[in-house]
Amino acid sequence: MHLRLNELENTVKESEWYKNLTEEVRKNVSCKLYELVPRTCDVKYDIPKEDDNIKYVTTFKIETWRSGNYRVMFLKMYSITIEEETCYCMCEFPSVIGTMKIMEDKHLARFSHTYPGGVREEGSTTAAQFTTEDKKLQLGRFYYTMNSTLNHFPDCKDTARVLLFNDENKKKTLSKVLMDAIKKDLKEENFQEKKFKEGNQPPQIDRLESEELKYEFQVYVAHTDDDEEKAQQIIDHLRKKGMADSDIFDADSYLPGSSWTKKMEVASCKCRWFIFLLTKNALQDKSLNYNVVSALGDSIYRRKVRVIPVVDRCDNLVIPEALRWITYIPFDINGRHLESLYSIVSGKFLFN
């Protein structure tokens, strides 16, 4: 997909439709692709039928060759009109998320759940029907994984945006969600860097709930002593992107002389995001499973998407049982994982 997304802007601007627009109207055209991710996972295939403010305009055909295979993608351009203002964008519902709604409605799957206690104090696991909480978890994984993927490829950055929204909120129509996103993107086009907003931003998936937890810090990077340099690289990148020092939990200063487990326990209560370096060094720690379950019980047992493991590429990778349900970010020697982490913890992707 990324080989086609980077051609999107040129395709739009070279089209007869765009060339026939006045300069004033062009200012309201977004060349990004908006992936619509509703809370209920209820996918709509005929978008104009869902909102009278949205009208079909034209279709763009993008052709490319990848690995010797011919690929083609069709994207629809829509107009969004609210009162006297009209903007234009390409948008779609990822069809894969509709599967989650079907699984929930028809009980077509069973997921393993980890519960406190049990064998070797690592927690017990049992199978249970696919629940609303499972859907929320999988939706969160999809949301963050898609954003991370888009940021992984330099030529794809800012070509698409994932819009996570509460489709049960009748006051925020689909046209309003899109209009707000388009106007925000067009306004920020002249800024090369989008600085981290002041204050702690809640995880996008948690904003779908009526109540939100408050955290003293934004992020903690958990690591062994051997991985201190890799952890510092992540912290330095977050600071460079504009995150305040006061939003980064410094466990060594806050809890001098404390054990790794104790630092994780305190951080799990005080920090919204928990970046966990699962490198070769960390995975050699035989007590890792117990430490993880002890420190991150809330996120694991309630299956909240607050833990972000960064996994080292290595042979014989053994991931703790308690963390196998979480989406991982691969550690990259060229630093590509840094932007993926920032995109998640900064809350920079638009939520509606």
Give residue 222's domain range: 204-345
Is position 113 within any domain? no
Q: What is the DSSP letter of 189?
A: T
Q: How many domains does the chain have?
A: 2
Enumerate residue ranges in the chain where pLDDT < 50: 1-3, 110-127, 192-203, 205-211, 300-301, 303, 305, 315, 325, 349-352
For residue 17, the tally of other CB atoms under 10 A from its CB is: 14
Instruction: Tell me, yes or no, whether 114 lies in a domain.
Output: no
User: Per DSSP, what are the bridge partners of residue 271?
Assistant: 217
Q: Is 70 exposed, middle or buried (0-12, 13-18, 19+ CB in 10 A)?
A: exposed
Q: Does residue 258 belong to any structural domain of this protein?
A: yes
Residues 277 and 179 in one domain: no
Q: What is the CATH number of the domain that holds 295?
A: 3.40.50.10140
Pair (233, 321) in one structural domain: yes
Question: In one letter, which amino acid is 106?
Answer: K
CA–CA separation, 176 and 254 (whole Å): 44
Q: How far apart are CA 31 and CA 11, in angstroms?
A: 9
- Domain boundary pick from 188, 215, 250: 188
- Rounded-to-10 torsion of CA 177, 179, 180, 181: 80
Tell me the three state secondary structure of residue 88: strand
Each residue's pLDDT tens digit, 281-311: 666 666 655 566 555 555 544 545 477 777 7
Same domain (yes/no): 212, 171: no
pLDDT at 67: 59
Domain-located, residue 61: yes
| 158 and 249, same domain (yes or no) | no
Question: Do 269 and 221 fall into the same domain?
Answer: yes
Same domain flag for 76 and 36: yes
- pTM of the entire predicted model: 0.58
Residue 294 identity: S
- Read off the CATH number of the domain in which 41 is found: 3.40.50.12100
Q: Are residues 311 and 210 in the same domain?
A: yes
- Tell me, yes or no, whether 175 and 222 share the same domain: no
Shared domain check, 319 and 180: no
Q: What is the DSSP letter of 122?
A: S
How many other CB atoms are found less than 10 A from the CB of residue 29? 21
DSSP character for 140? H
Among 321, 296, 290, CA closest to 308: 296
Residues 224 and 325 in one domain: yes
What are the tokens at 279?
A: 């490198």
Report pLDDT for 199. Answer: 39
Task: State whether the Cα torsion 301-302-306-312 is positive or negative.
Answer: positive
